[in-house]
Amino acid sequence: MSTVTLDITGMTCAACAGRVEKALAAVEGVEKAQINLALEKAEVTLANGASPEALVAAVDATGYGAHLRSERAADRRAEEEALAATRRADERQTLLRFIISAALTIPLVIGVLPAMTGLGAALIGPWVQFALATPVMVVAGSRFYREAFAAVRGGAANMAVLVSLGTSVAYVYSAWRVFAGSAEGHLYFEAAAVVLTLVLLGKYLEARAKSGASAALTALGSLQPDTAERITGAGVETVSVDLLSAGDRLLIRPGARVPADATVVSGHSSLDEALLTGESLPVSKDVGDAVITGTVNGDGALEVTVDAVGADTRLARITRLVEAAQSGTAPVQRLVDQISAVFVPVILVLAALTFAGWLLVGAGFEAAMVAAVSVLVIACPCALGLATPTALVAGTGAAARAGVLIRDIETLERAHTVGTVALDKTGTLTLGQPAVTDIVSAEGILDNDVIATAAALEHASEHPLAKAVRRRAEESDMALAAVSGVTAIRGRGLSGEVDGETALVGTAEMMAEHGIDVGAVEDQAADLENQARTLAFVARKGRLLGLLGFADTLRPEAKEAIAALADDGMKTLMLTGDLAAVARKVAGDLGIDDVRARLSPEDKLRVLGDLQAAGGQIAFVGDGLNDGPALAAADLGIAMSGGTDVAREAAALTLMRPDLRLVPAALEIARKTRRTIRQNLIWAFGYNVIGVPLAAFGFLSPAFAGAAMALSSVSVVTNAAWLARWRPKFQTAAKAD
């Protein structure tokens, strides 16, 4: 199987999307075709050997346009820029057509207003009305006539068919009366002109809002540079990013974008990762640190070794996830698609029945025509087709900007029902690395003496506790003493010579074995053990210097995140394989409701299953390899940034930076996106349910129906555009500060 993406042109409503999807699905070798009306693209899954060119031909045969996206990054960006330029030109042309149409329609409406309101005769004659309306039919109507003809030729009916039929009937009937010399009474030139002008305005506003809603995806696509500076034996050469491969050594100059995922091998700088991870502050990078494609280097030059290029980069994976989420079909949209497929034919039948019904009750041809035209005009399916995709594009785009990747659309359906958030401890609630939290010095000994001796002995050790001691020494700018003869005693600690004096760091048992009395700090040691600290005693020249306490450091934002979940009415639960005492301490510090400790991956699955069986919807937040099963089994899996590939693949949501405050933010944007979809659908369905009967029974004029139709589409897209402005509460608060 392979997946290809096509940019589709000419689609205006759900009926268009349905027609294109059906045409693509009928092509030999197509396993699945999915249309996104808001993004104007198709995702097609092909069996091996199927022809992508056949897809383009199938779309062309329906009267719409299609273009295969290139695989090369530079070509793809050029295509996207050309497509964006075409869409901007179309927007400008639509605006110009609207201005011309409005300039002709306004005097036409003013001229016939007395006759429309029953206050007197029209201020302008029939021939003037004809002269004003005809250019509007050409300037504004030609677009809809072309779209309608293409749809009918392809065997479908869409919004353009309804608009074209309705306005043409009103115009032709009025023109026939003028040319026949029977123009007494009311003509309907202004109805046709007003409908076309307002629908044109609606299409312009709709296009503007749609382009704004997909801004996040556009921004992601423009991050990767076209070229890179590769270091070779002959010097530095500028090459296309498509020519890079893993292992290449690159120079990243100050202010340049990183062209590939890589590891720093020389230099120091700070990188701006805001567009990719939502992190507002530059992130410091030193030798050994990873840099991400598309991030912007600060004021220091870096030399890096390439780890991943092209489709394997983190930027490419993020872009694919966002595209997949925006192109997906929400469960509720399936019903909408089924309704949209028969909507236009049903409206045509209703308009015919309306016309016949008015004639049967003796109302006359004119009244019957006006009611039928109103039904055709007001029943535009645009709002129905745009309700879901515009909200999805806006919601997933806003989430991506904030640092949350929504993996699939059904996530939105599950997120609003979550009542409990279960969290792993190590690497999720904590940083996953121990730190020196306590220093207890013996009488007459300084804290720095304890740290300096321990750091000297630990200078070459890769043990996590040794690294914590060295970090503490570096924070105090300590110069380490000369050390020799360091020996590791398994399960006990280290011994060696520091400045020629015997020194030890390790357990109480190790101290006892060397005849060193720890009684001076015994009470403090007991207190620290009760707080679930890991202990290391430090001695030098046969005398105890003091005691170090270690603990895994809580994420600085963890308490705020747990409080935010509680404010949203969520219960919190810790699932960890760590000791019960350690787990209870962390839970107490953070305010977590429930703790389950000493759990294996299978135990975590069992706990989640029990909670789900009791009727609860559970979200699980984790980062490790052993969290993969729980992330997949939970109703909503949330993977932490920096976690394992297994965790990220199993999760429905991925946090692009290790900030736990994104967990309540992710649940919030998922709920808001789902709510916006519901609001849009209620508006779109309600508008048609109310509007069509009113038009059929003669309570709406064609002009008013046209205004209402345009308002319907614009309101749906505008509602989605408001969602695109969403920001997490903690980011909004920080900005306000």
CA neighbor of 393 nearest in space, from 565, 198, 206: 206
End-to-end Cα, the chain, rounded Å: 51
Distance of CA 309 to the CA centre of its chain: 23
Burial class (CB in 10 A: 0-12, 13-18, 19+), 181: exposed
DSSP conformation letters of 7-57: EEES--SHHHHHHHHHHHHTSTTEEEEEEETTTTEEEEEE-TT--HHHHHH
Q: Is 85 helix (H, G, I), strand (E, B) or coil?
A: helix
Candidates 7, 248, 424, 659; catalytic one: 424
Q: Give Cβ neighbours of residue 127 (< 8 Å, ≥ 6 apart).
A: 178
DSSP conformation letters of 679-701: HHHHHHHHHHHHHHHHHHTT-S-
Are 581 and 588 in contact, with CB atoms under 8 Å apart? no
Q: What is the largest CA-CA distance in the chain?
A: 123
* Region at 185 (left for phi over 0; alpha for psi -120 to 50; beta for the rest): left
Nearest-Å Rg of the Cα atoms of the chain is 34
Cα 258 from Cα 110, distance rounded (Å): 60
Q: Is 424 a catalytic residue?
A: yes
Burial class (CB in 10 A: 0-12, 13-18, 19+), 140: buried
Helix (H), strand (E), coil (C) string for 149-161: HHHHHCCCCCHHH
Question: Can you point out the beta strands (E) in 313-472?
Answer: 404-406, 420-423, 430-441
Q: Give Cβ neighbours of residue 163 (< 8 Å, ≥ 6 apart).
A: 144, 148, 195, 196, 199, 376, 377, 380
The one-letter amino acid at 683: W
Hunting for tokens 């780890």 — which residue is that?
A: 307
Q: Which tokens sit at 137?
A: 């039919």
Cα 338 from Cα 652, distance rounded (Å): 27
Distance of CA 407 to the CA centre of its chain: 8
DSSP conformation letters of 642-674: T--HHHHHH-SEEESSS-TTHHHHHHHHHHHHH
Cα 217 from Cα 84, distance rounded (Å): 13
Phi, psi of 289 (to 5 degrees): -80, 150
Q: Which tokens sit at 646?
A: 């297994």
Is the dihedral angle over the CA atoms 546, 550, 556, 560 positive or is it negative? negative
Residue 554 DSSP label: E
Distance of CA 129 to the CA centre of its chain: 50
Q: Which tokens sit at 57?
A: 């031909």
Are 59 and 65 in contact, with CB atoms under 8 Å apart? yes
Cα 329 from Cα 333, distance rounded (Å): 6
Q: How far is CA 518 from CA 134, 441, 510, 523, 524, in A?
A: 101, 11, 11, 10, 11
Helix (H), strand (E), coil (C) string for 568-592: CCCEEEEECCCCHHHHHHHHHHHCC
Residue 312 DSSP label: G
Phi, psi of 272 (to 5 degrees): -85, 110
CA neighbor of 417 nearest in space, from 541, 570, 554, 290: 570
Please give the positions annotated as active site: 424
